[in-house]
């Protein structure tokens, strides 16, 4: 498989809108679940309901609960969303801190998709990430243990590596600083975006959306410099990454394509 290949797509069987679905089915915090989510479960066919309840519950010591299954298996309904979705097949992908696949939610189609984010050899396990990867090994291990009750033994976690920890911590720092620094000095901000992309390469983090985001930040900072050629190059890279990692018809990809066709349509062009 190659980067950008569609590995799986699936319509979720349950959705949880955390800001809206607030009426709980039980007062016991351990088993509390919004009535709307429980009603969705009851409306499923017996076969699909059984498949959903057969998913792992890492929080249930003796008895499974819908809340435990959702917290163990549910995926975010898009980047930075508090809402959750439950997919029967896609939820079974294992975690890696150097994953070769990534998730992409399509709100318009109501579909969760998984794309290869790097080339995958025959026989190689397909993996996604459950957590923010740009943190040191100890922090990743702690979060995975608390949320999912397992100790990660992926290639990035088998042996402590101080240089890897430094790179990952710096990635998150740079991501936060690109636009902050760029507000004062666009050239310096673009330099940080380049550094971030280099760190992704060195660490072997191939998440295409993260790379697309760095390129889009550089694009936004290049526009006030009136560097149209540079801006076109950066937004073309952003589109290429997003189209591979989330699909060419994903809203983020289509927005990048609009800027590829007309960079001056962005508000930063002065």
Share of the chain above pLDDT 70, in %: 94
The domains found in the chain, sorted by start residue, are 6-130 (2.170.270), 162-265 (1.25.40.10)
Q: 254-268, pLDDT tens digit by residue?
A: 999 999 999 999 999
pLDDT band at 159 (very low <50, low <70, confident <90, very high): confident
Picking from 189, 262, 267, the residue whose alpha carbon sits closest to that of residue 222 is: 189
**Whether pLDDT at 25 is above 80:** no
**What is the per-residue pLDDT for 81?**
81
Residue 221: per-residue pLDDT:
97
CB-CB neighbours of 195 under 10 Å: 14
- Average pLDDT over the chain reads 92
Would you say residue 113 has pLDDT above 50? yes
Tell me which long-range contacts 232-241 makes (C-beta under 8 A, separation of at least 24): 232/260, 232/263, 234/190, 235/259, 235/260, 235/263, 236/260, 237/212, 238/212, 238/213, 239/212, 240/212, 241/208, 241/209, 241/211, 241/212, 241/215
Q: For the residues 149-162, what does the mean pLDDT come to? A: 93
Mean pLDDT throughout 168-189? 97
Q: What percentage of the chain reaches a pLDDT higher than 90?
A: 81
Position 122 scores a pLDDT of: 95
Check if the beta carbon of residue 200 is closer than 8 Å to that of residue 208. no
- Give the pLDDT score at 35: 81
Is residue 147 pLDDT above 50, yes or no?
A: yes
17-26, 52-61, 225-234: the lowest-pLDDT one: 17-26
Q: Please state the rounded mean pLDDT for residues 66-72.
A: 90
Q: For residues 120 and 110, give the distance between their C-alpha atoms in angstroms, rounded to a whole number.
A: 27
Model confidence at 19, pLDDT cuts 50, 70, 90, reads low
- The model's pLDDT over 26-41, given as tens digits with 9 standing for 90+, comes to 444 445 567 888 889 9
Quick one: pLDDT at residue 32? 59
pLDDT at position 20, please?
A: 57
pLDDT in tens, 210-268: 999 999 999 999 999 999 999 999 999 999 999 999 999 999 999 999 999 999 999 99
């Amino acid at each position: 498989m190659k980067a950008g290949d569609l590995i799986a797509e699936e319509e979720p069987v349950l959705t949880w809108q955390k800001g809206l679905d607030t009426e709980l089915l039980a007062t016991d915090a351990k088993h509390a679940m919004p009535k709307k989510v429980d009603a969705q479960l009851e409306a499923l066919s017996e076969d699909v309901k059984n498949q959903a309840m057969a998913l792992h519950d890492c929080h249930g010591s003796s008895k499974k609960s819908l809340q435990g299954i959702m917290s163990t298996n549910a995926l975010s309904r898009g980047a930075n969303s508090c809402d959750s979705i439950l997919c029967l097949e896609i939820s079974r992908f294992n975690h890696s801190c150097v994953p070769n696949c990534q998730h992409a939610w399509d709100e318009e189609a109501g579909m969760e998709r998984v794309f290869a984010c790097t080339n995958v050899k025959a026989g190689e396990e397909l993996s996604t990430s459950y957590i923010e990867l740009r943190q040191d090994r100890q922090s990743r291990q702690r979060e995975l243990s608390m949320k999912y009750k397992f100790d990660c033994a992926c290639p990035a976690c088998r042996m402590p590596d101080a240089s890897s920890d430094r790179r990952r911590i710096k990635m998150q720092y740079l991501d936060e600083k690109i636009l902050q620094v760029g507000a004062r000095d666009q050239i310096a901000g673009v330099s940080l975006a380049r550094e971030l992309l280099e760190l992704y390469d060195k660490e072997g983090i191939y998440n295409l959306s993260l790379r697309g985001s760095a390129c889009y930040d550089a694009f936004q900072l290049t526009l006030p410099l009136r560097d149209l050629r540079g801006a076109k190059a950066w937004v073309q890279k952003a589109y290429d990454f997003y189209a591979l990692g989330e699909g060419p018809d994903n809203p983020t990809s289509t927005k990048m394509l609009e800027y590829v066709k007309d960079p001056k349509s962005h508000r930063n062009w002065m």
